[in-house]
Chains A and B, each alone.
Chain A
Amino acid sequence: MNRVWSSSIMQQIVFMGPFVVLFILITAIPFTFGIYYSFTDWNGLSDKLPWVGIDNYKFIFTNDTAFIHSLWFTIRFTIVSVILCNVIGFIIAYFLSKPLKSRNVLRTLFFMPNVIGGIILGFIWLFIYTQGFSTIGEYTGIAFFNLPWLGTETTAFWALVIVFVWQGVGYIMVYYIAGLANVPQDLIEAATIDGAKTLQILRNIIFPMIMPSITVCIFISTVASFKSFDLNYSLTKGGPFLSTESVAMNIYTEAFAKNNMGLGAAKAIVFFFIVMIISIIQVYLTKKREVQV
């Protein structure tokens, strides 16, 4: 009895307890409150919480074009930035796992943007897009720099993608480097002796071997770009004409600027289920392709 007590339950309390308490306080309780608020017409401040049933959810799916539009933007943004982040991240990781002299310096440089917070990055790039690019454009006359980068829907979309990928690629790269380091060298050597080309090695050995990294990287970048808020907030403020408003921003303005906490909570719940379903499908699909040596 004494042994059971000390070995399992006590250990779980010691190691899991603090986390469970924090999780309940910081995530579970607010989440439950959020579900409750989503059925009310609360303005975020008053003492009254008028119950409105599923009116908020009805409104989201019938009248709220801005929310649907921001969801569509977020999906497009996620697809593009997940592909770019992972492709570029893998290419960088592939070359930086070769024995290069400067590889430690380069790894640090690629990872650096990730250390800076999104809000600050947004302001830095706001300056680059509005002042830096136009000054370069004035002196060189290159059309790329003379575009109104944050002024039209298409360029603003790509402006966000560029900054997001630039920021996220370093993180993804670290995962891929770790994955590549775990690929057994003897497999690659054997394949080389058998006369396999680089592309064949990539496709038949490296990709199957780093599939766990790919699962994690796609998952991380999908969730990060789905929830993207700070970049949009500081770089474009959702403009021009709400074309780059992410769902997280839409929820924030609804709940805090328009004082519709209830509707904002309902949107957040809808958003939660969308992200959850997409993540589950993605993890299920990529997990299936993982192999064991």
Chain B
Amino acid sequence: MKQIWSVVCTVIILGTLLSACSSSGNQSKTDQAANGDGSNKQKEVTIKVVEYKNLEGYKDIAREFEKQNPGVKVEFSYINSVDFDPTMKARYAAGDMPDIFNNWNVDVWKDFYEDLSDQPWVGDLFEGTKGFVTRDGKLLGMPYIIEGAGLVYNKELFEKAGITATPKTFTELKAIAQKLEDSGTQPFVNSYGEPLFQLGAHFFNNAMDRVDNPVQFIEDLRNGKAHLVGNPMFEQMLDVLRFSAEHGNHKDLTTDGNTQANDLVNGKAAMALQGNWIQDNVNKSNPGLKMGIMPYPFTDDINLNDKINMQIYSLAVYNKSPNKEIAKKFLNFLVTSDIGKKTLVEVFHQVPAMKTIKPTEQFVGPINMDLLSYLEQGKVVPVAFWDYFPIATDIGQVLQKFVANKTNSTQTLKEIETLFKNWR
């Protein structure tokens, strides 16, 4: 009798284990079978959308879309941008890929994106927004929102210090910093405790996206053909970095992005290297505050300075998704339907990448209107940090050492050159 029990137990235990391992595989197969024929509308189809921006208001668009397309459910989830890539890889490994997700590290993920060149919204895009998601002539995502990075400043504090025009050169920047300090305002607030986004991506990018051909230049750096030491643009970038640290907050190496944004929005300092996304913080904690954005004036060459670093927030469709036609339909709905257009401007408070959607200051706020005017004048340059994104954190760490006065500018540039050479 005892033997029988032990045999039964073993079979049950092993059986449970094996079935647990295979259950997810079966599940996805039946899903595919259900959605494959498309005509079968009784089965519910769920479109999973994963984003790195936490945009409230998607629900309204989704409900409207679900009403017009019975049997379709739209589900949103949000991943913090720093964890976006690792989380997506984990979801890919687990067979849990969403149908719509952000373009992030396009060169790594390019085999996973659906080509969207034939979509109806392509003609509405602003000039220059397609480059970020175009590879081998294919449009691998839908540019959705335009973001601008630069020096975000508090217009009220500028007025108080008697500053009438924004600085266009490094010399002018020094002069206005002096004026701000005379009026009792701290000129900068820096979050140099963030090696990736503050330093490695956005600060270093100021110089990188202004070289003639960033992609080629990075390639040359990796092969040792190009050099940063002796390159005036990169040396000036470090001068500006030092200047901003000297005229900024103490303990900047332990300040994070949230603290920086709060200090800026609450008037503790006049300027910060940030982007138009800070309008959200303004709306939340100090609504109505007059802020603006300008390009970071880090050289004395006006033509070089006077361009906002443009970043594209875009959505891609997973090319192996069984529901990709519905996913494309949803993307189209986002930017062409009335509720989609309205939500983008009035609820998300964003600058759309489509010319057909007109933002107004009442909803998007003054920073975004500044960005829009730069955009309409064509004074924008696409950010280059995606081209060196895997080592951006390391570059940020090297720049932190510079901010802490542990290395001089030649050593810093040399270390960054080594990073490029050792990057594989």
Contacts from A to B (Cβ < 8 Å)? 2, 5-6, 10-11, 13-14, 17-18, 21-22, 25, 41, 43-46, 59, 63-64, 66, 129-130, 134, 148-152, 237-242, 252-253, 256-260, 263
Q: Would A257 and B3 count as touching, CB distance under 8 A? A: no
B164 CB, nearest partner CB in chain A, Å = 36
In the A-B complex, the 8 residue pairs with the smallest Cβ-Cβ separation, listed nearest first, are A258-B390, A151-B253, A256-B86, A241-B401, A151-B254, A242-B397, A150-B254, A241-B397
B38 CB, nearest partner CB in chain A, Å = 27
Q: Would B108 and A148 count as touching, CB distance under 8 A? A: no
* Chain A, residue nearest B111 (CB): A46
Q: Would B253 and A253 count as touching, CB distance under 8 A? A: no
For residue A259, which residues in chain B have a CB less than 8 angstroms away from its CB?
Answer: 105, 108, 390
Q: Which B74-124 residues have a C-beta within 8 angstroms of A?
A: 85-86, 89, 92, 105, 108-109, 111-112
> Does B251 lie at the interface of the complex (its beta carbon under 8 Å from any beta carbon of A)?
yes
Compute how far the CA of A63 lies from the CA of B17 in the bound complex, rounded to whole angstroms.
Answer: 44
Q: Would B251 and A151 count as touching, CB distance under 8 A? A: yes
Q: Would A17 and B13 count as touching, CB distance under 8 A? A: yes
Compute how far the CA of A259 lies from the CA of B109 in the bound complex, rounded to whole angstroms.
Answer: 11
Compute how far the CA of A70 lies from the CA of B10 in the bound complex, rounded to whole angstroms.
Answer: 45
> Does B55 lie at the interface of the complex (its beta carbon under 8 Å from any beta carbon of A)?
no
The tally of residues in B whose CB lies under 8 Å from a CB in A reads 39
Q: Would A21 and B254 count as touching, CB distance under 8 A? A: no
For residue B92, which residues in chain A have a CB less than 8 angstroms away from its CB?
Answer: 45
Q: Would B193 and A239 count as touching, CB distance under 8 A? A: yes
Q: Would A258 and B391 count as touching, CB distance under 8 A? A: yes
| Cross-chain pairs A/B with CB under 8 angstroms, 29 sampled | A6-B2, A6-B3, A6-B6, A10-B6, A10-B10, A11-B6, A17-B13, A18-B14, A21-B14, A45-B89, A45-B92, A148-B253, A149-B254, A150-B254, A151-B251, A152-B253, A238-B397, A239-B400, A240-B400, A240-B401, A241-B397, A241-B404, A253-B393, A256-B85, A256-B86, A257-B85, A257-B393, A259-B105, A259-B108
A236 CB, nearest partner CB in chain B, Å = 10
Among A2, A241, A242, the residue within 8 A (CB) of B406 is A241
A40 CB, nearest partner CB in chain B, Å = 13
Chain B 3-41 per-residue mask, 1 if CB under 8 angstroms from chain A, else 0? 100110110011001000100000000000000000000
For residue B3, which residues in chain A have a CB less than 8 angstroms away from its CB?
Answer: 2, 5-6, 10
Among A2, A21, A130, the residue within 8 A (CB) of B17 is A21
Chain B 108-149 per-residue mask, 1 if CB under 8 angstroms from chain A, else 0? 110110000000000000000000000000000000000000
Compute how far the CA of A44 lies from the CA of B111 in the bound complex, rounded to whole angstroms.
Answer: 13
A127 CB, nearest partner CB in chain B, Å = 11
Q: Which B241-274 residues have a C-beta within 8 angstroms of A?
A: 251, 253-254, 256, 259
Using known A-B contacts A45-B89, A148-B253, determine if residue A240 contacts B108 with beta carbons closer than 8 Å.
no
> Does B424 lie at the interface of the complex (its beta carbon under 8 Å from any beta carbon of A)?
yes
> Does B398 lie at the interface of the complex (its beta carbon under 8 Å from any beta carbon of A)?
yes
> Does B346 lie at the interface of the complex (its beta carbon under 8 Å from any beta carbon of A)?
no
Among A44, A66, A253, the residue within 8 A (CB) of B89 is A44
Max chain A Cβ within 10 angstroms of own Cβ: one of B86, B111, B254: B254
* Chain A, residue nearest B390 (CB): A258
Using known A-B contacts A17-B13, A64-B422, A130-B254, determine if residue A240 contacts B404 with beta carbons closer than 8 Å.
yes
> Does B195 lie at the interface of the complex (its beta carbon under 8 Å from any beta carbon of A)?
yes
For residue A17, which residues in chain B have a CB less than 8 angstroms away from its CB?
Answer: 10, 13-14
Using known A-B contacts A256-B86, A256-B89, determine if residue A148 contacts B21 with beta carbons closer than 8 Å.
no
For residue B397, which residues in chain A have a CB less than 8 angstroms away from its CB?
Answer: 238-242
Among A21, A256, A260, the residue within 8 A (CB) of B424 is A260
> Does B156 lie at the interface of the complex (its beta carbon under 8 Å from any beta carbon of A)?
no
For residue B390, which residues in chain A have a CB less than 8 angstroms away from its CB?
Answer: 257-259
Among B195, B251, B423, the residue within 8 A (CB) of A239 is B195
For residue A152, which residues in chain B have a CB less than 8 angstroms away from its CB?
Answer: 253, 404
Compute how far the CA of A46 lies from the CA of B3 in the bound complex, rounded to whole angstroms.
Answer: 49
For residue B251, which residues in chain A have a CB less than 8 angstroms away from its CB?
Answer: 134, 148, 151
Compute how far the CA of A179 lies from the CA of B86 in the bound complex, rounded to whole angstroms.
Answer: 43
Q: Which B376-404 residues have a C-beta within 8 angstroms of A?
A: 390-391, 393-394, 397-398, 400-401, 404
Q: Would A45 and B393 count as touching, CB distance under 8 A? A: no
For residue B253, which residues in chain A have a CB less than 8 angstroms away from its CB?
Answer: 148, 150-152, 239-240
A179 CB, nearest partner CB in chain B, Å = 35
For residue A22, which residues in chain B have a CB less than 8 angstroms away from its CB?
Answer: 17
For residue A64, which residues in chain B have a CB less than 8 angstroms away from its CB?
Answer: 422
For residue B254, which residues in chain A have a CB less than 8 angstroms away from its CB?
Answer: 129-130, 148-151
Compute how far the CA of A242 lies from the CA of B404 in the bound complex, rounded to whole angstroms.
Answer: 13
A30 CB, nearest partner CB in chain B, Å = 11
For residue A18, which residues in chain B have a CB less than 8 angstroms away from its CB?
Answer: 13-14, 17
* Chain A, residue nearest B18 (CB): A21
For residue A46, which residues in chain B have a CB less than 8 angstroms away from its CB?
Answer: 111
Using known A-B contacts A17-B14, A239-B193, A257-B85, determine if residue A45 contacts B394 with beta carbons closer than 8 Å.
no
Compute how far the CA of A252 lies from the CA of B90 in the bound complex, rounded to whole angstroms.
Answer: 13
Among A14, A45, A130, A150, the residue within 8 A (CB) of B6 is A14
Q: Would A257 and B6 count as touching, CB distance under 8 A? A: no
* Chain B, residue nearest A66 (CB): B394
Using known A-B contacts A6-B3, A45-B92, A241-B398, determine if residue A151 contacts B85 with beta carbons closer than 8 Å.
no
For residue A45, which residues in chain B have a CB less than 8 angstroms away from its CB?
Answer: 89, 92, 108-109, 111-112
* Chain B, residue nearest A149 (CB): B254
For residue A6, which residues in chain B have a CB less than 8 angstroms away from its CB?
Answer: 2-3, 6
B87 CB, nearest partner CB in chain A, Å = 9
Chain B 187-204 per-residue mask, 1 if CB under 8 angstroms from chain A, else 0? 000000101000000000
For residue A263, which residues in chain B have a CB less than 8 angstroms away from its CB?
Answer: 424
Compute how far the CA of A241 lies from the CA of B195 in the bound complex, rounded to whole angstroms.
Answer: 8
For residue B406, which residues in chain A have a CB less than 8 angstroms away from its CB?
Answer: 241
For residue B89, which residues in chain A have a CB less than 8 angstroms away from its CB?
Answer: 44-45, 256
For residue B422, which residues in chain A have a CB less than 8 angstroms away from its CB?
Answer: 63-64
For residue A134, which residues in chain B have a CB less than 8 angstroms away from its CB?
Answer: 251
For residue A130, which residues in chain B have a CB less than 8 angstroms away from its CB?
Answer: 254, 256, 259
Compute how far the CA of A257 lies from the CA of B83 in the bound complex, rounded to whole angstroms.
Answer: 9
A62 CB, nearest partner CB in chain B, Å = 10
Compute how far the CA of A41 lies from the CA of B424 in the bound complex, rounded to whole angstroms.
Answer: 9
* Chain B, residue nearest A59 (CB): B424
A262 CB, nearest partner CB in chain B, Å = 9
Among B193, B393, B423, the residue within 8 A (CB) of A150 is B193
Compute how far the CA of A120 lies from the CA of B17 in the bound complex, rounded to whole angstroms.
Answer: 32
Compute how far the CA of A68 lies from the CA of B254 in the bound complex, rounded to whole angstroms.
Answer: 25
